């Protein structure tokens, strides 16, 4: 029997790529999104990517709207939820903590209540490496201390804790917290990707702005870190590899009898690259120059860290396949496609 899955934040950056992978693997996929950080262009993109014989349904709704979510869960006979909805700007979370606690924690509780009342008890949660705060080591395993340093990270850890408590409560819950390092890239079609028209703060969308002429140059935040070339190093993982891990995690939960303990897995590739290496990889992939200026370090930034990804690779029988060049090439394809089809909101 085909398993029906609901993806919250289903037309956002992560949700849309997860949706495509699920549909390709034969799941019956339903998306819910409130357009707070997404556009209908992503939904069109998903529908263009999937084969004509397949379909995906879309609901415009807030996950905090318990009644509406209950209706979708019942009508579509949903068996599992992949929960990607949530606000994700660290800087905004510092300025507007209530918005983050409300939209991330409050709405998640509402979603979990709706699920419980409809007997849906399998959930995969989009968490983040931000739950580790200022890491003590460079290669971070799931056993590392969790001590987030901003409201965004605290909301992620709070939701993880709620899910762990649900699993310990003796009920049927089976959940998995997937801690993303730095998702990057886009679907190879160039039809879906990370939007860059709404004041991005992450490196890849900002590079998209430079490449498409929306920004004059890239500010490189610091060249005096204790790293090979002095610029910050991160563990970038291709968004399609990340999406595939969700499908594997879902299969894992569907087949397991109990919730896995510990219920968290790191999603990264296990090595870091610097900002200058990213710039060079883009320049090679796109045959374009990326003008940049060295600026002072961004407050709150950490020099270098990467995932210890062994637990995810072992438990999910999953290995990331795509390279930094793939991330740059696919981002560039998305940037060109997106720049020619969107209205600039800046
Ligand atoms: N960087 C620049 N210039 C920019 C933007 C970023 O030099 O304009 C640098 C940063 O200093 C850092 C690297 O590029 O060295 C990556 O920065 P991002 O903003 O893309 O990503 P972060 O690692 O800072 O943050 C990301 C997510 C957070 C999450 C965190 C957890 O955006 O939501 O990873 O690992 F919390």
The answer to whether residue 207 scores a pLDDT higher than 90 is: yes
Q: Please give the Cα distance from 27 to 56 (Å, whole number).
A: 10
Structure tokens at 143: 């056993």
Pocket-testing residue among 202, 300, 327, ligand 1, by greatest number of atoms within 8 A of Cβ: 202
The whole-chain average pLDDT of the chain stands at 95
pLDDT for position 262: 60
| Of 178, 272, 298, 302, best ligand 1 pocket probe by most atoms within 8 Å of the beta carbon | 298
Residue 209, pLDDT above cutoff 70? yes
Tell me, in angstroms, the distance from the centre of ligand 1 to residue 52's CA: 37
3-state secondary structure of 220: strand
Q: What is the CATH number of domain 203-234+270-337?
A: 3.90.25.10
Query: What's the angle, vertex CA 303, arms to CA 312 and CA 271, rounded to 5?
Result: 30
Assess whether the previous peptide bond of 262 is cis (omega < 30° from 0).
yes
Average pLDDT rounded to a whole number, residues 331-337: 96
Pocket test of ligand 1: the residue of 100, 104, 139, 203 to mutate, having most ligand atoms within 8 Å of its CB, is: 203
- Residue 335: pLDDT band with limits 50, 70, 90: very high
- Nearest-atom number in ligand 1 for the CA of 184 is 20
> Which sequence positions are flagged as catalytic?
152
Q: Residue 261's pLDDT is what?
A: 59
Residue whose C-alpha is closest to residue 120's, from 220, 212, 3: 3
Task: Measure 120 CA to ligand 1 centroid, in angstroms.
Answer: 35
- Give the CA radius of gyration of the chain: 19
Three-state secondary-structure class, residue 31: strand
Ligand 1 center from residue 223 Cα (angstroms): 14
Nearest residue CA, atom 11 of ligand 1? 221
Which residues, 6+ apart, have CB-to-CB distance to 23 below 8 Å?
A: 29, 46, 50, 54, 56
Ligand 1 neighbours (beta carbon < 6 A): 88, 90, 128-130, 181-182, 201-203, 206, 218-221, 232, 234, 275, 298, 301
Confidence category of residue 344, pLDDT binned at 50, 70, 90: very low
pLDDT above 60 (res 43): yes
In whole angstroms, what is the distance from residue 31 CA to residue 59 CA?
A: 6
Mean per-residue pLDDT, 83-94: 94
Q: CA angle, corner 12, sides to 190 and 241, nearest 5?
A: 60
Assess contact for 265 and 249: CB atoms under 8 A: yes
pLDDT at residue 343, as a whole number: 45
The pLDDT confidence band at residue 342, using thresholds 50, 70 and 90, is: low
pTM over 0.85: yes
Query: pLDDT digits over 271-293, tens only?
Result: 999 999 999 999 999 899 999 99
Domain 4-185+235-267, CATH: 3.40.50.720
pLDDT of residue 258: 76
Mean pLDDT computed over 189-199? 94
> What ranges do the domains of the chain cover?
4-185+235-267, 203-234+270-337
Q: Are residues 12 and 29 in contact, defined by beta-carbon separation less than 8 angstroms?
A: no
CA–CA dist 17, 30 (Å, integer): 13
Q: Write down the H helix ranges in the chain.
A: 13-24, 40-49, 66-75, 90-95, 97-100, 107-117, 151-168, 203-211, 239-255, 275-286, 310-316, 324-341
In this prediction, residue 259 has a pLDDT band, given cuts at 50, 70 and 90, of confident
111 alpha carbon – ligand 1 mean position (Å): 29
């Amino acid at each position: 029997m085909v398993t029906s899955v609901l993806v919250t934040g289903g037309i956002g950056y992560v949700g849309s790529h997860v949706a495509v992978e699920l549909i390709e693997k034969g799941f019956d996929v339903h998306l819910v999104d409130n357009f707070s950080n997404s556009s209908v262009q992503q939904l069109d993109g998903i529908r263009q990517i999937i084969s004509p014989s397949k379909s995906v349904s879309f609901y415009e709704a807030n996950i905090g709207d318990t009644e509406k979510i209950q209706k979708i869960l019942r009508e579509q006979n949903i068996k599992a939820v992949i929960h990607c909805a949530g606000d994700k700007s660290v800087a905004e979370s510092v300025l507007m903590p209530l918005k983050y606690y409300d939209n991330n924690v409050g709405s998640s509780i509402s979603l979990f209540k709706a699920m419980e009342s409809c007997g849906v008890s399998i959930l995969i949660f989009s968490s983040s490496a931000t739950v580790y705060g200022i890491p003590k080591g460079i290669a971070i395993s799931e056993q590392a201390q969790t001590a987030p340093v901003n409201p965004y990270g605290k909301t992620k850890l709070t939701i993880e804790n709620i899910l762990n408590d649900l699993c310990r409560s003796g009920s049927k819950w089976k959940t998995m917290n997937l801690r993303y390092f730095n998702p990057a890239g886009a679907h190879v079609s160039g039809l879906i990707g990370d939007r860059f028209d709404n004041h991005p703060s992450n490196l890849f969308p900002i590079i998209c702005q430079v490449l498409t002429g929306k920004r004059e140059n890239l500010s490189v935040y610091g060249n005096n870190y204790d790293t090979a070339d002095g610029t910050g190093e991160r563990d970038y993982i291709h968004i399609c590899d990340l999406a595939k891990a969700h499908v594997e995690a879902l299969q894992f939960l569907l087949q397991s009898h109990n919730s896995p303990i510990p219920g968290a897995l790191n999603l990264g590739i296990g090595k870091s690259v610097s900002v200058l290496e990213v710039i060079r990889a883009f320049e090679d992939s796109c045959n374009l120059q990326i003008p940049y200026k060295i600026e002072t370090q961004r407050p709150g930034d950490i020099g270098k860290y990467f995932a210890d990804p062994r637990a995810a690779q072992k438990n999910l029988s999953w290995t990331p396949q795509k390279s930094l060049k793939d991330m740059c090439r696919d981002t560039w394809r998305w940037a060109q496609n997106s720049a020619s089809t969107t209205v600039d909101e800046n």
